[in-house]
Each structure stands twice: as C-alpha cells, then as structure tokens.
C-alpha cells in the first residue's frame, strides 16, 4: 500500500485526485494539504510514502520551497510535482529541489498512477515536453555535486557526526586533534551552507553516507 499526501490549494482538485486515486487498491490517501507550509507539517505527522505536490500555491510556501524542505527533513519521502507548467525553467527547478516525478495536470489518470508507483519504487518519472535525455543530464549533474563538494576526510567526519560521535571521539578515531575536527566542521558547514548538527545529519542520510565504508 502506497501512502499518498495530496497538496493543492484548490479543494475541488484535491477531491478529484482523491476520487481518482482511491480507485487504485495499491494507493491509500492519508491526507490533504492546501499549501506548502501545511504540507511540511502533514508530512511529519502522517509519514506518507509519496507527496503529490502542486507548484503554484498563493497562500503559504510554494511547491518548490516546500518540496526542498520535505526532502531535507524526510529523505525517504518521494515527491511528484503535479502542475500546469511545462516550461524548462520549472522542470529544471524540480530536479534541483529533488522532486522524483513531474507530470502535467492535463495528463490522464493512469499516468498519474504510474508516476506514483514509479517514484515509490525509486525511479524518476518526468513526463513533460523536455526531452528525457536533457532531464537525465540534469539529474547526473545534480548527483555529481554533493560528492564533489566535500573532501574524503570531510565526508568521514560528516558520517561520524551522523553516527553520533562527539568531537573528541571523532578526533580519537581519525587520529587528529579536536581543534582539527572543529575546523573541519566549520569548513563543512560553510561548503554545505548549513548551520546545525541536525542539518548535517540530514545531509548524510540524504546522500547515503551511512552506507559508505569510508
């Protein structure tokens, strides 16, 4: 059963999507949100597998901003953008914020179902006028960025932070001084543009650092 959260500022659209998707026994609608801010809250409360996200929502956060925050806070949640916008700038931004799928509101219901199942299975599902090769290039570019930002030693430190080691324990494990660990952490935060330990842990989880044998 795929748990889905519906996000759209129009009540009628949400109700229509609910009726459509509830026709598929593989899908369970766990909730609805009317803007991005509420979607972030509902994602934390309801723990959906997939968030079906509108882009243009005048009251509260827009779909891009909400998607980015959801991806940071809940790396395992998949996001499908459902929108009227077919322009390249919108599709590319969806890739940048980590959306797993992007389909247009004039698509037929079966395509929406395929998108939800596809992203739930770990695939990217983008159906727009932009060629699939261009979209793949954007994703390849995105996947290269995190690995090129940090050095191997910095990745080691982020991984150990995520595993719960203190500065002193990291220093002992890596045979360096506590001051060096602190300097590394400062550089890491500056490179990643994050401010807290919590954000570092989310970054480690999102980029699968805990699975690495560094």
Integer Cα distance of 42 and 7 in angstroms: 10
pLDDT at 212: 56
Query: How many domains, in total, are found in the chain?
Result: 2
Q: Can you give the CATH number for the domain in which 177 is found?
A: 1.10.10.10
Residues 121 and 154 in one domain: no
3 state DSSP class of 192: helix
Burial (CB < 10 A; 0-12, 13-18, 19+), residue 165, is: middle
Counting Cα atoms < 13 Å in the Cβ hemisphere of 65 gives 11
For residue 214 the two structure tokens come to: 């560094």
130 within 8 A of 138, measured Cβ to Cβ = no
Residues 138 and 46 in one domain: yes
How long is the chain?
214
70 within 8 A of 107, measured Cβ to Cβ = no
Q: How far is CA 52 from CA 32, 116, 174, in A?
A: 10, 8, 43
Residues 170 and 194 in one domain: yes
pLDDT at 192: 81
Residues 139 and 174 in one domain: no
First-to-final CA distance of the chain: 36
Residues 165 and 128 in one domain: no
Task: Among 90, 124, 143, identify where a domain stops.
Answer: 143
Task: Among 143, 164, 199, identify where a domain stops.
Answer: 143
Integer Cα distance of 174 and 153 in angstroms: 9
Neighbours of 209 (CB within 10 A): 22
Residues 24 and 111 in one domain: yes
Residues 135 and 199 in one domain: no
pLDDT at 157: 92
Residues 190 and 90 in one domain: no
Residues 157 and 137 in one domain: no
* Confidence (pTM): 0.68
3 state DSSP class of 198: helix
H-helix or E-strand spanning residue 99: none
Q: Can you give the CATH number for the domain in which 47 is found?
A: 3.40.50.2300
> Tens place of pLDDT for every residue, the chain, 214 residues?
999 999 999 999 999 999 999 999 999 999 999 999 999 999 999 999 999 999 988 777 889 999 999 988 888 899 999 999 999 999 999 998 999 999 999 998 899 999 999 999 989 999 999 999 999 888 887 765 554 578 888 888 998 998 889 999 999 989 999 999 999 998 888 888 778 888 888 888 877 787 655 4
Residues 121 and 19 in one domain: yes
Residues 94 and 73 in one domain: yes
Residues 124 and 95 in one domain: yes
Range of the domain at 162: 150-211
Strand order in the sheet with 27-33: 27-33, 2-7, 50-53, 78-83, 101-104, 125-126
H-helix or E-strand spanning residue 103: strand 101-104
pLDDT at 148: 55
17 within 8 A of 52, measured Cβ to Cβ = yes
Task: Among 106, 124, 143, identify where a domain stops.
Answer: 143
């Amino acid at each position: 059963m795929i748990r889905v959260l519906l996000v759209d500022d129009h009540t009628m659209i949400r109700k229509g999507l609910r009726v459509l998707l509830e026709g598929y026994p593989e899908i369970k609608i766990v909730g609805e949100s009317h803007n991005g801010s509420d979607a972030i809250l509902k994602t934390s409360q309801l723990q959906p597998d997939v968030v079906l996200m509108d882009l243009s929502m005048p009251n509260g956060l827009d779909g891009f901003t909400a998607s980015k925050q959801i991806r940071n806070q809940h790396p395992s949640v998949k996001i499908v953008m459902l929108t009227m916008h077919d322009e390249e700038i919108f599709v590319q931004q969806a890739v940048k914020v980590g959306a797993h799928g992007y389909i247009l509101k004039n698509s037929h219901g079966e395509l929406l179902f395929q998108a939800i199942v596809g992203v739930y299975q770990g695939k990217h599902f983008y159906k727009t006028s932009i060629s699939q090769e261009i979209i793949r290039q954007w994703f390849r570019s995105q996947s290269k960025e995190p690995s090129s930002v940090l050095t191997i030693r910095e990745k080691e430190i982020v991984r150990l932070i995520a595993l719960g080691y203190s500065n002193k324990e990291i220093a002992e494990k890596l045979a360096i001084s506590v001051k060096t660990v602190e300097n590394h952490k400062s550089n890491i935060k500056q490179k990643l543009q994050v401010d807290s330990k919590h954000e570092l842990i989310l970054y480690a989880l999102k980029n699968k650092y805990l699975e690495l044998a560094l």
